[in-house]
Structure formats: C-alpha cells, structure tokens
Structure 1
Amino acid sequence: MNGVTVSIDRIVIDFTDVYWDFFNEFHKQICHYYGVRMTVGERGFQYRIRINTGEQFLHISYKLVFAPKTRKNTLRIEVYPKSLVYFRHWLEQIREYADQVLFVRCDVAFDIPVRISDLFTMSTKGRKLRLFKGTRYYNGKHQRQEDGYCRVYDKKRQLLETGRQKIRGERTRMEIVYASKEKISLATLVQYPPQFNSKYLCAVLTDLSKFSPKVGRLVKEIQQGELLPQDTTPYYRKQIHEQMKTQEVIDLTVLAAEQWQEAITLPCAILSGKISHLPVQEVHSS
C-alpha cells in the first residue's frame, strides 16, 4: 500500500561492561543538570534515572539487582529517537566507556493512511485482542516488553486530543515490539529488519462483499468491537486469513525492510557511532 511510513517509536539499548567509577560520577552530573534523583530498585535494574522534560524522555538503568558484585555492569537506556539529539552529549559519554552496544528492543510504528475502522488486524500467533478506549491491544499490559506485543490506534485522533499536531487525511498507527532472541550489535542492526508477517495479518478493508457471508459477518463484528478474534473457532480464523487476500493486504515485513535503514540510522549514529551493512561473518573478521 502506498503512503505507509515506518519509524521507531522507542528504543532500548544495553551498554555492556560500564565501570561503576564512571557511572557514579556520571549519575551525579546528569541528575544535577536535570534536577532529578536516582532511585534504587529491588527488582530488575538496581539504579534508575528517569528524565522527562515533557518533550524529551530518557530512562537510564544500571546494574541488575542479582548480578554478581563487580566493578563493571550493564547500563541500559530507553529513549525516544526524537530525543537522541537532545541527549547526545550524555549518550556519547556512555558509549565511550562501554565495551559493546547491544540492541534490546524497539517499537516499530507503521503509520497507515486509512481510518482505523477500515484497517483489519489479527494475530496469527494466538495473541488475544483487548479493546480499551478505541485502542486494540494484542496481549496483556504485563507483556508490554515482549517481542510481538502490539497496539493499534487512531493516531490522528491522538494528535488532535493532545494538541500536538493537525494532519490532513486519516492515520492509523500499528506499533509492534521488535525484540531479538539473540544479542545483536546495534551497529549491525540494519541487517536484521523485523519479520512481522509471521505475527500479524494487516489489511485495508475495501469490499466486504468479496467475503463469504459468514466470514464477512465475523469480520464486521470484529471491526465493530462486538466480537473478539479469539472467540471465533480456529476454522473461521483460518477462513478470515485466507479470504482477507481479497482485500488490500499490507506486507509488514516488506515495508519494514524497505524503510529499515532510514529508521535506524539516527540511533546507530548516536548510540553506536557507526552502521555496518556487511554480513555478520565479515563484520566479525574485519
């Protein structure tokens, strides 16, 4: 489909083997500069710094609580790509003191120029659909950080309600969490665009009359929030998937691959300092 854009909405990165001596001085400086305090947690990462100016966001975590005592620990950041330039001075300091810069996860956003009522989405992996205030969520809130977690919402409406931007035409956003099972160097992330077609069916409804009567009725009920996909039988979910080919199916995998380099160039440049297009074996041997 023409007009679909792909971007990264948030990204999580691990900087490995960062010395405590560096972090101890670093956290004092950044907390003083932004007027925030470091908190200490009992689960996950022990030390946490959250900076939110209203426009810019950066979350810094250091040292897993149950990690063995050592002078070097993992430092994790969570940041919106639009905030990377704003925090560049601080992020480049972290990069200089890290052994590796590893990709953890990111939210991949597809902005689709259609009304949400015309965009059909369904999990192909059995993820349950939840509806809340017009947003479609696939899987529970506690699974927010897991690979494949997805939400679909009216982006135009959100921008209007928050007063941030007015846009022409329609815009529905589909956000999917991309998290690799293997550790990927951020510099080589360009070689690993997400494969979302195996996780979700996404299509623009153009002509409901092309469905069989039963399938058409189910699709209409799902779109109107009267029926959840998981409440249909496996047989009819398969029929919906097959007959959706009569509509305008959006190839999420191809779209991500086509726009992946552009989407990750800024994070790679600032957080890693480079971007490598070489096959992995060539990267390791160079």
Structure 2
Amino acid sequence: MKASVSIDKFVMEYKEVPLAAYYGLMREAAMNGFPMKETVYWGDYCYELHIRKGNEAYLHVFYKNFRETERHLHTLWLETRPEHYLHFSQLLEPIRRVASGIYFVGCDVAYDVPTSLENVVVIPADMRRKMTHCGTTRYFGLPHQRKTNGYCRIYDKRLELWEEQGIAIGHGWSRMEMVYKPDQKVLLSDVGRHPPKQNEKYFAAVVTDWDVLPRKRAEQIRNMRDGVNMYTQRIRKAVKETLANPYHVDFNGLAREQWESLVEVPCAALLGAA
C-alpha cells in the first residue's frame, strides 16, 4: 500500500538578525492587526513571539539563542506549517533583507496510509529506541526528544480529526510522522536537493492481509508492532523479510518523489519568490 507524503511542520532560521529587525517584525504585525503574544525569558531562545492571522494561520518566532551572548546580531527561528508562511511573507520580507543567511532547520514528515492503525508496523533500525504509548499512539523517543532527528510517532489520524475538530472520515487513516533534522543546516535555497532518508531510521510495513501470514509470524509481527517483544536480531530480520514484499513502505522513495513540490511553497514565501 503506497503512502501519501506531507510536511506537518517546517522550521527554518535567519542568521545575524539585529534586535531592531525583531522589534520591527512585532510592530508590523501589530499594524496589520495580527494577535500576538510575546514571552521574554532565558530559555532556548530569549524571545518567543506567537502570531496568529485569525483562524487561518499561525507563526512561532524565536529570537536570540541563549548561546549567543556576544555582538548584537542573533538567530531568528521560525516554525509553522509550510502553507502558513504565505500568510506572513510580507511581514518577514524585512528580515530576509537584513539576514546574512536563510537556512532549513528541520520538519515533520508525515506518511499517511488509508487503513486502521492495527495494520501499521514500524520497527526502529536502532533497537535502543524504545517504544512508549499514550492511548493508541505509539512513540519512538521521549517527550524531551520531540525536536530531535528520528523522533517518531504513529497514530490514528482519523481519531485525531474527530476528537480535535469534529471531522468524521469514512475510512481508516493512519499516520507515521517523523522528525527530519539534517546533521548540518541546509541553505533554504538548496533544501529541495536534500530529501529525508528515513529508511535509515525505521523499517515500516502496512499489512493488508493478516490471514495469509503463518500464525507464529503474525504473532511476532503484532508483538513488534506494539513494542511487546522486539525479539532477537535473527527474528527481526526474518520478520522484515516476510513484510518486505508486498507490505514494505519505502520512506526514501516516497520522499524523493515529492520532496521538491513539498518544500516549494515555504521556499517561495521565505525567499521572496511568492
């Protein structure tokens, strides 16, 4: 079963931005009637600014990393959904003009399959990644690792839409969502040439017919799916071989096919081409 791919959150940063430009961003947001909330504290970033445009879009702004204690030029970090950058492109244009560089930091890549969660199997390549649960959602990674490369959650998107927005979907909908954060920051203008390679982190499969699997193998797959037992390396290899055809989800291939189109909108909005 082929998955569809989307980006749920897109994070980027401007380098060497003066404080006056950050205050200018606040001033322009206020003049345009955007509701704002600012927090000033000594956390990961000294300034946090949260901007909304009605119910249409939001923008999280973080300015001056706590490590930046010298000079007067600092990092400005942005985080929102890719399409939301279009709503704030004019607001961000003065920042683009003064920044010394614009970089892609990371994003959440979502792989969606139209099936129930019980059919989705995700196995980490690094067995030190332990599975945890919250309700029906499965996690590889602890809460404080939420923004680290390879953090993964597998959840029932259909249930989430119903519980949070009251939207009813007439078919199963499961999501495998992984954080993609390159080891080194990538120029935003070059990000289209750097699709994620998440097969290196996880093996995934969507089992469309459990009845054709041998009983013992099906039990092993279910146990691995739920994190009950990850077995020995030999059994894990045999499970992956069983699931490889026709159930395997090729994260690398899926991302590579669609990556340029997925990053096109935020890149155009942030690089002045929108």
TM-score by length of 2: 0.90
Residues 204-241 of structure 1, C-alpha deviations (whole Å, 9 max, x = no match) = 11344555544321212344x4x5344x3333223322
Deviation at 1:120, TM superposition (A): 1.1
SS of the equivalent of 1:256 reads: helix
Residue correspondence of structure 1 range 231-246 to structure 2 within 5 A: 232-246=231-245
- Give the corresponding residue for 1:98: 99
CA distance in 1, matches of 2:161, 2:37: 31
The one-letter amino acid paired with 1:195 is K
168-177 or 156-165, larger mean C-alpha shift: 156-165
Residues 174-220 of structure 1, C-alpha deviations (whole Å, 9 max, x = no match) = 11100011121011111011001111111111344555544321212
- Give the corresponding residue for 1:268: 267
CA distance in 2, matches of 1:262, 1:35: 31
How many matched pairs? Answer: 271
Deviation at 1:101, TM superposition (A): 0.8
* Contact persistence 2:58–2:84 (CA under 8 A): yes
Residue correspondence of structure 1 range 22-61 to structure 2 within 5 A: 22-30=21-29, 33-52=33-52, 55-61=56-62
- 2:152 counterpart of 1:150: yes
Residue correspondence of structure 1 range 71-86 to structure 2 within 5 A: 71-86=72-87
Structure 2: any 5+ residue segments left out of the alignment? none
- Give the corresponding residue for 1:70: 71
CA distance in 2, matches of 1:159, 1:137: 19
- Give the corresponding residue for 1:173: 175
Deviation at 1:45, TM superposition (A): 1.0
What stretches of structure 1 move > 6 A for 4+ residues in a row? Answer: none
Judging changes above 3 Å, is the alpha-carbon distance between structure 1 residues 84 and 25 closer, same or farther for their aligned structure 2 residues? closer
Residue correspondence of structure 1 range 179-198 to structure 2 within 5 A: 179-198=181-200
CA distance in 2, matches of 1:220, 1:25: 54
The one-letter amino acid paired with 2:20 is D
The one-letter amino acid paired with 2:77 is R
* Contact persistence 2:114–2:173 (CA under 8 A): yes
* Contact persistence 2:223–2:229 (CA under 8 A): no
Identity percentage of aligned residues: 31
Judging changes above 3 Å, is the alpha-carbon distance between structure 1 residues 125 and 46 closer, same or farther for their aligned structure 2 residues? same
SS of the equivalent of 2:87 reads: coil
* Contact persistence 1:210–1:246 (CA under 8 A): no
CA distance in 2, matches of 1:21, 1:220: 56
Deviation at 1:56, TM superposition (A): 2.2
Deviation at 1:164, TM superposition (A): 5.2
Deviation at 1:159, TM superposition (A): 1.3
